[in-house]
Copies of this chain bind each other. A is one copy, B any other.
């Protein structure tokens, strides 16, 4: 299968709710970058996180294997620093190989679950 997608993606929306209706990992409020690497080489990703009132954080390093998907929770990023909850942010994802990126949030504060999702912006 040929590689599909692009090597640079932006997600302008980002917000990890600090509260959740449930401690069930599937229902904890979370925000994810879903990444598809359909190609035959592992993709090395570098993620930078932008904020409203401070310099960016990162880069965060992530690998998505060949012919694999990764549903990366921003909640789980800890190196070089945790992403603060209840704080607006945005992200820029650079990849060594073409990938496809989709942004999804599950918000379970209310206490009902709300979902959003969108294809990320492909920067080329």
Binding site for B on A (CB under 8 A): 1, 4-5, 8, 10-15, 17, 21, 26-27, 32, 34-38, 48, 50-53, 55-56, 67-71, 86, 88-90, 92, 99-110, 112-123
Contacts and interface: CB of A to CB of B under 8 A. Distances in A.
Contact of A50 (B10, B36, B101): B36
B52 A36 contact: no
The complex is assembled from copies of this chain, and their number is 4
A113 B10 CA distance: 26
A17 B60 CA distance: 29
A118 B119 contact: yes
Contact of A122 (B13, B68, B109, B121): B121
Contact of A69 (B50, B70, B112): B50
Nearest to A117: B116
A13 B104 contact: yes
A71 B88 contact: yes
